[in-house]
Chain A
């Protein structure tokens, strides 16, 4: 009797080809399972609720990690929320700390669902953050740090008007780089001082719009092999960055691909992955080329990885990014999600 044996499924989920011309080692659906080295399939680990009935209200925005803590953020017109830190994993004693910027007194924190975290970037043992109590109309820029003995977060305001409020930022070479509010330049702070965006000869800006095609603006930032990657929706500029501002220069432009979703940009294995208008792509340097180019790593699932038209969405009473991604180290994967847009597999 004829027999056919499956012993490799290493093609993974493949929706880009009709089944007739798809390799037999690929799959038409793969739900909550992953291909393992060697080609076998295994279900992913499960999401379990943090023990002890821990909850995090919709007034707290985002989830980040730094200095050995999870972080969440908010701002509102109350003097304090009364929250400092909580253990979220009894086994590892991992904690979450609360980064809060008071905008006054007299309010009720229960109403703070309209608070918005426009963006953060790591700075030493804390974050530089752009927050808003009113979904982005009023902005507050704060530099938070944590005392690892008391698990207490403190913050200082950044009052320098030259710091952009876009919230699209990365940290490199002892500086923070941020997209300007109009998306036409990249501002950078003074070396070792993210509260100073003005000192001549130290803080400054990169004139990225000089290299745009018509109508472009910057939407995202990343770091690629020590260079600053500036993403428009149609191109990627790679800038050489340096503590000395005179050492900064445009290195290369990769045309024809980009992203509008800053939170989709993730560095993994030395490459930079992002969600372009045509699916998930990777900025990589191919072994037979000296210059970086983009690779369409998302082609197998292009059928449902549509870039949402809107950069934001409404969730938990506030405004959130429509696309988020993560380098999920414990499972060695790139994750990308566009809630309420993608529902497939």
Chain B
């Protein structure tokens, strides 16, 4: 693991960060719910956001648990929905909920703030991750310019460590990675290795 460097360690030359949370704009999100996962034994205390879409029927009207299922009613929708552990869509089924499945890292500087880095490749361990999008920060603006998209798919069964590195073409002082999964299937992001060259101070 590595840690993001502290904000105070940024070089003065990189200037202010005018819109640090641009990518978090609520207006672009889906309606849904916040989910808190907690486990004392696993020392887990983590939040996630779950959406149902961007239309009015994505609003949650009521929900309840019965047995090993959770049932859901949506505004303006007379259907009743149910969720069961480990159950995803079959090829013959239609997805009538969110089409989004993704995770996005914080801005990463690999412990070298202000240094220009060139990302050259990744190794990946996952399941049904369609692609990894690499965003870069230009002059510290953190607006999130898409620099490269790596089509992971099921290359080498979702495990690339035993084969060739998937090539990446991106250079910046900071990077943000978005793992985009298949909206219908079980998606896993287990491990990722990033290969980079440190090109020194900008």
12 residue pairs from A and B, CB less than 8 Å apart: A4-B2, A12-B47, A50-B81, A64-B64, A65-B64, A65-B65, A305-B34, A320-B61, A324-B63, A345-B32, A345-B49, A345-B50
Beta-carbon contact of B106 and A32 below 8 Å: no
Give the CA-CA distance A333 to B34 in the complex, in Å.
10
A41-B65 in contact (CB<8A)? no
A residues in contact with B108, CB < 8 Å? 4, 24
Contact A70 B48 (CB under 8 A): no
The interface size of chain B toward A, counting residues with CB under 8 Å, comes to: 108
Say yes or no: A332 contacts B197, CB within 8 Å. Answer: no
Q: Are B107 and A35 in contact (CB under 8 A)?
A: no
A320 to chain B, nearest CB (A): 7
Option from B63, B78, B103, B183 in Cβ contact (under 8 Å) with A56: B78
Q: How far is the CA of A48 from the CA of B85 in the complex (A)?
A: 12
Q: Are B110 and A4 touching (Cβ within 8 A)?
A: yes
Query: Of A146-154, A180-188, A213-221, A335-343, which binds chain B?
Result: A335-343
- The answer to whether A29 has its CB under 8 Å from any CB of chain B is yes
A interface list, Cβ under 8 A from B? 1-15, 18-35, 37-38, 40-50, 54-58, 61-65, 68-70, 88-89, 92, 94, 96, 268-269, 273, 280, 297-298, 300-301, 303-305, 315-316, 320, 324, 326-337, 339-340, 342-345
A219 to B57, CA, bound (A): 28
Identify which of residues 41-78 in chain B touch chain A, using a CB-to-CB cut-off of 8 Å. 41-52, 54, 59-73, 75-76, 78
Q: Is the CB–CB distance between B20 and A18 below 8 Å?
A: yes
In B84-100, the 8 Å CB interface with A consists of 84-89, 93, 95-98, 100
Is B48 within 8 A of A13, CB to CB?
yes
Q: Select which of A11, A24, A29, A61 is within 8 A of B24 by beta carbon.
A: A29
B51 contacts which chain A residues (CB < 8 A)? 31-32, 345
Does B150 interact with chain A (Cβ within 8 Å)?
no
Closest residue of A by beta carbon distance from B7: A20
Name the residue in B35, B61, B75 with the highest tally of chain A Cβ atoms < 10 Å from its Cβ.
Answer: B35
**Interface contact A24-B3, CB-CB below 8 Å:** yes
Q: Is the CB of B106 within 8 A of A328?
A: no
> In whole Å, how far is A278's beta carbon from the nearest beta carbon of chain B?
14
